[in-house]
Amino acid sequence: MGLFKDYVSQTRKPEGILGKMMLSGMNSGHAKMADWGLTHLPGITPDKAADLGCGGGRNAGELLKKYPKAHVTAVDYSDLSVEKAKEYNKSMIEAGRCEVVQGDVSDLHLGENTYDLATAFETIYFWPGLERCFAQVAKVLRPGGVFLICNESDGTDATSLRFEKIIDGMKNHTVPEIEEALKAAGFTNIRSDHHASKPWIAVVAEKA
What pTM does this model have? Answer: 0.90
Domain ranges of the chain: 2-207
With beta carbons less than 8 A apart as the criterion, state whether 53 and 120 touch.
Answer: yes
Is 2-207 assigned to CATH 3.30.1300.30?
A: no
Read off the pLDDT of residues 118-150 as tens digits, 9 standing for 90 and up.
999 999 999 999 999 999 999 999 999 999 999
Helix (H) or strand (E) segment spanning residue 190:
strand 187-194
Residue 165's identity, in one-letter code, is K
Please name the residues in contact with 45: beta carbons below 8 A apart, sequence gap of 6 or more. 67, 69, 70
Read off the pLDDT of residues 75-107 as tens digits, 9 standing for 90 and up.
999 999 999 999 999 999 999 999 999 999 999
Asked if pLDDT for residue 69 goes beyond 70, the answer is yes
